[in-house]
Structure 1
Amino acid sequence: MLGVVERLWRYPIKSTGGERLDQVAVESRGLAGDRLWAVRDAAGKFGSGKNTRRFRRMPGLLRLGSRYPNGLGEPQLLDTAGQPVADSDAYLRAYLRRDDVALAPEGEVSHFDQLPLSVLTTATLDWIRRALPGVPVDERRFRPNILVRTPPDTVPFVEDDWLGKTAVIGEGARIEFVRSSERCVMVNEAQPDLPHSSLVLKKIAAAHDNRLDALARVLTPGHIAVGDPLMLA
């Protein structure tokens, strides 16, 4: 057994704050509803913390939140105070000071940066906290889907040992660990109760070649919940 599911996170709108879950379905695409929506501009690029071929940097999105209030469907956008907004598109245009943005569901172009599931351990998270004693850090900076509680003597970056292996979790879900996330400036960005700090990315770059977590693909859909064991298959 690698550990136990400590927390589950889903991000209904890409690059915004997510919602904590007690349980969730795992589909072939990833957690049901995860990053299924994004802020899209007139050029078809998605709001993110960086500029790439698919993504457009839109500073401030991480200060907002998102959730599915009634199961799946169109998500609810939350303002900087955590309150739902009446008109998501109107709020985003005023907040981002752009008149060409709107919420859009995923189409042919994936909203995922890399792979659909990000798994992070408490061993790695606790190491980062110790390495940055003056910087508020929790898993929200790294946006995992699954935070795994590992045994007390587990070494940091144990996720590296899982790459190339398969694991089972919850009711029938089977995943394959593929590689680590290559981190960007989003880990530095301000979120509610988490101030901006350039030290976070610098520390990850120096200690672990800018890599953090284990990214996985879904081999067999299933259902997972907080408290489920994560076990090598």
Structure 2
Amino acid sequence: MGNDLDVAGVIERLWRYPIKSTGGERLDSVDVDERGLVGDRLYAVRDAEGKFGSGKNTRRFRRMDGLLHLRSRYPRSTPEPGPPELLDPHGNVVADPAAYLRTHVGRDDVELAREGEVSHFDQLPLSVLTTATLDWIRREVPGVPVDERRFRPNVLVRTPPGTPPFVEDEWIGREAVVGEALRIEFLRSSERCVMTNQAQQDLPHSPLVLKAIARAHGNRLDALARIVTPGTARVGDRVVLG
């Protein structure tokens, strides 16, 4: 195929979020099955009504402030990871996640729950963002620290120099091969909410981020995909559009 390849870019960073709405873990490689990155958002903070902790209130989610100041990770990578470790704002592993979460979010009815019949995903299983778009946002909000953690993608793709921002729009409706075997199909983009503005670890709160996205792109950012053929994603893998 040689010169006929439509290379969108290469994987710059991979992110998995073992506990929904917490900070995630950077990976060098990860297996991807029909559900998404293995172990991604497999756990969530659930209240007595069965709603999951999030940055917003919806039919399935309940806003629980403070979760973004925490992080989660799996102690080791296995075909069926879990349970994950919960890290406090200082990066220390929490001994009793449920007890810690009840104090942290100010609710005595929350627990750490593994996904059951109700999905923990907001929309589709895989979120892909480009450095072209990320660099544009940085230029639009000078003085505000911005990196991909604000947008919680699974995959950050480094695009070639000169790539326009929001190039992800051009991928919608197309398939892509990632690395050797993983095949995905881009279906739509994410509609962004106030979670984009919220403080997390070393990123301060700023309403300017969401305002910039709303003004330029109707609150939409990234490309969401479903998994067509499972495989493995690795940092440095090419993303080749079909």
Opposite residue 37 of structure 2, the aligned amino acid is L
Q: Is 1:186 equivalent to 2:192 in the alignment?
A: no
Q: Is 1:208 equivalent to 2:200 in the alignment?
A: no
Q: Is 1:50 equivalent to 2:56 in the alignment?
A: yes
What do residues 52-73 of structure 1 show as CA deviations (whole Å, max 9, x unaligned)?
Answer: 0000000010000000012211
1:225 deviates by 0.3
Q: Using the alignment, how far apart are the partners of 1:165 and 1:96 within structure 2?
A: 41
SS in structure 2 of the partner of residue 2 of structure 1 = strand
Who is 1:86 aligned against? 95
Residue 131 of structure 1, aligned match among 132, 135, 140:
140
Residue 169 of structure 1, aligned match among 153, 174, 178:
178
Q: Is 1:153 equivalent to 2:162 in the alignment?
A: yes
Opposite residue 21 of structure 2, the aligned amino acid is S
Q: Using the alignment, how far apart are the partners of 2:33 and 2:95 within structure 1?
A: 30
For structure 1, list consecutive stretches of 5 or more residues without a partner in the other structure. none
Who is 2:18 aligned against? 12
For structure 2, list consecutive stretches of 5 or more residues without a partner in the other structure. 1-6
TM-align CA RMSD: 0.5
Equivalent positions of 1:2-151 (< 5 A) are 2-71=8-77, 72-151=81-160
1:97 deviates by 1.3
Q: Give me the identity figure in percent.
A: 75
Q: TM-score, normalised by structure 1?
A: 0.99
Segments ≥4 residues shifted beyond 4 Å:
none
Q: TM-score, normalised by structure 2?
A: 0.96
1:219 deviates by 0.4
Opposite residue 12 of structure 2, the aligned amino acid is E
Who is 2:3 aligned against? none
1:177 deviates by 0.3
Opposite residue 74 of structure 2, the aligned amino acid is Y
